[in-house]
Amino acid sequence: MARLIHLGRVGYRESWARQELELHAVIEGAENAVILCEHDPVYTLGRRRGAIANVIDPGDTPVIEVERGGDVTWHGPGQLVGYPIVRLDEGAPDLHAHLRRLEDVVIGLCADLGIAAGRDARNTGVWIGGRKVCSVGIAVRRWVTWHGLAINCDPDLSAFQRINPCGLDASVMTSLTMELCRPVAVAEVEPLLAARMADW
């Protein structure tokens, strides 16, 4: 069973430091951990070459380079972020399988809410009818993964218009609130995500 760590709303750097702490603990033999939180507004920039070109006009919002794969994305209020710090099978570690597992969790969570979600053959993440509701990006150190997923519950989607999220047009981004035509708060979604990740 994974240790579930609920941080509430925190600055990105604070959660990043907590990820580092838990990453070292799992590398040293501790149980897997799943950090759940909501961030103050921030743009994070992954390792994909040329990703900085997809930052159009961040304004006063910080842009932070991080270790995960992928391009630029936004985190902020109304978005639930999950960081599973998970030891992969050292006999046959499979990062692609881990990415698919993250997507499966969110696809199942959407089903819990009555939404039919799935994958896009060309892009990671979780999609609803051609619209992206969840971004996924990971890093790995000594076969322990960190970083993770971000589910748009009820955010201000206009924040994505200041970037090309994951190299895509901002118009592809959606939220659970938009898809269900009712407010879907982080507080409603977090227990569903926790239940689906408790056995990691």
Q: Which residues are catalytic?
A: 166
What is 47-104 written as a DSSP string? Answer: SSTTGGGGB---TTS-EEE-SSSS-EEEE-TTEEEEEEEEE--TTS--HHHHHHHHHH
Side-chain-side CA neighbours of residue 151 (13 Å): 30
Helix 186-197, helix 95-112: angle, nearest 10: 130
Q: What is the largest CA-CA distance in the chain?
A: 46
Q: 23 vs 91, 94, 111, 145, CA distance in Å?
A: 20, 18, 30, 8
